[in-house]
Structure 1
Amino acid sequence: MALTFDPFREMDRMAARLLTSGGTERSSSWMPMDLYRAGDHYIVNVDLPGVDPGSIDLDVDANTLTIQAERTIGSADGAQWLAQERPAGRYMRQLGLGSDVDLERIEASYEHGVLMLTIPVAERAKPRKITVEQRDRQSQISAGGSGENQAPSSQTPAAAGSSTES
């Protein structure tokens, strides 16, 4: 088996790990995601290949969704590494959620290395139709309504229809 070793590539990789790790939790660059809206739901797909589903932790605090996962690389006892390019460790990503989502009904599933979150849009944020009431202008005028130069009638509708007998 032929292996190529590029010392500059290795130095770049080590520098990137040091600059982005920030301690024990790594940056979100390892957790690429897609986010889109489909109807009245937002869909988030997060790539988490090789992650044990039991290590995935989802939390919502205020309007922030936090995704945490851990990936471990198993090795046989006494193995000598020739190359180790697959990242391992604990990873975290946070998403700011707007006020237009229903935080109580978020659903999550994990299949084939992809975490899928379904975030429903809140009822108050869904588009809705507003009905327009149509008022009949003729009925307003005949009921003593909005005639501009019309003198107010001193008779009530009941009195206007009655006749006096002598």
Structure 2
Amino acid sequence: MSDNSQVTKPSPSDEATLLPPVDVIEDASGITLYADMPGVPKDKLHLQVEADTLTIEGGIDLEMPGGIEASHAEVSLSRYRRVFTLSKELDPNKVSAEFRNGVLKLSIPKAEHAQPRKVEVRVS
């Protein structure tokens, strides 16, 4: 899997976006990706897998109560976006996702042809 996010790509609405920090863990069965997306409600989280491209997007709810304005804001963008290219070893049809406490967890198993297999040795 390669990360295409070195350059922030515009979202479909041409907004500038934040790059969510991502951890990728690989084991024999596939990869698990953790993306930190604080402030994103589940209904504004969008995942898309098209061919070998995985896109993660999420809108942030940063509403200020009762007309109050921030005197200092370090998060001025309201959208996360990250794009990855999936390797041919991964099965894009079997991606599973969980979202809890602002952390998105994606599990992407290896394709059957890339799974480790045991080879039986015959004695003759």
TM-score (structure 2 length as normaliser):
0.80
Match for residue 123 of structure 1 among 102, 107, 112: 112
Change (3 A) 1:80 1:127: closer
- Return the letter of the residue paired with 1:63: D
Q: Which ranges in structure 2 are unaligned for 5 or more consecutive residues?
A: 1-7
Residue 74 of structure 1: aligned partner: 63
Q: TM-score, normalised by structure 1?
A: 0.62
Structure number with greater CO (CA < 8 Å, separation at least 6) is 2
Equivalent in the alignment of 2:91? 102
Is the CA contact 1:56–1:68 (under 8 Å) kept in the aligned structure 2? yes
Distance of aligned partners of 1:21 and 1:132 in 2 relative to their CA distance in 1, 3 Å threshold:
closer
Task: Confirm whether residue 25 of structure 1 aligns to residue 16 of structure 2.
Answer: yes
Once residues 64 and 49 of structure 2 are traced to their aligned partners in structure 1, the CA distance between those partners, rounded to angstroms, is 35
Shift of 1:92: 1.1
* Structure with bigger gyration radius: 1
CA deviations 1:103-147 (Å, max 9, x no partner) are 111100101110000111111101123334444xxxxxxxxxxxx
Give the aligned length. Answer: 115
Match of 2:81 in 1: 92
| Unpaired stretches in structure 1, ≥5 consecutive residues | 1-19, 136-166
Letter of the aligned partner of 1:26 in structure 2?
T
List per-residue Cα deviations over 1:14-42 (Å, max 9, x = no partner).
xxxxxx685403142xx000001134131
Provide the identity percentage. 31
| Distance in 2 (alpha carbons) for counterparts of 1:88 and 1:118 | 28
Greater share of helix: 1
